[in-house]
Amino acid sequence: MKKLVIASNNPGKLREFQHMLSPLGIEVLTQSQLGIAEAEEPYPTFVENAIAKARHVSRASGLPALADDSGICVDALGGAPGVLSARYAGDAPKSDAANNQKLLAALQGVADRRAHYYCVLALVRHADDPQPLIAEGEWHGEIAQAPRGDGGFGYDPIFWLSQLGKMSAELARDEKAQLSHRALALRILLARLSPA
């Protein structure tokens, strides 16, 4: 596979994918470069949304498409914000800072702050691919009491990695590219793509 379209307009995700895929000689296009509108994400699960986004972009572009559906799942909140992570504080407009503040407020006074980032990648070779490649990754940590760091995106400023003594937002890009939920899912996906 020499070329694929990323089914996302999220600049943080796009940077991560380009960083991880460019050494493999895969040309990464974005749906916005091709004038493709975002797909609906009506499903309650990450996997259903990822497949829907990949099929939408592949159908519109005529190219293989890779979609990511990911978010943060907090144990004490029954897995919320989950699939609503990007829109947790609303859509008008979407705001990482507002999402982080809403999550911190929801956990006010809560002792159990365990959480994990979860990512599902879906790759379709064509829009009606009967066997989309699916890979998933989890990255475990805790929700901190206050934001810190200016790297990454999403919930990275409040995602505490106790084994490293850092927030995800304090990691170097190469370090995050080795550890994150998205990096893990992508390694699994690329291993499945490689011939045996």
From CA 2, how far away is CA 125, in angstroms rounded?
A: 12
Q: Which of 164, 163, 159, 83 is nearest to 118 (CA)?
A: 83
From CA 115, how far away is CA 64, in angstroms rounded?
A: 32
Q: Which residue type does 176 have? A: K
3-state helix, strand, coil in the chain (%, to 5): 40, 25, 40
In the residue annotation, 69 being an active-site residue is answered as yes
Give every CB contact of residue 26 below 8 A, 6+ residues apart in sequence.
1, 2, 3, 4
The pairing of beta strand 65-74 with beta strand 3-6: parallel
Q: Which of 68, 69, 96, 156 is catalytic?
A: 69
**Phi-psi sector, 99: left (phi>0), alpha (psi -120 to 50), beta:** alpha
**Alpha helix (H) ranges present in the chain?**
11-21, 46-61, 96-106, 173-179, 181-193
Active site residues: 69
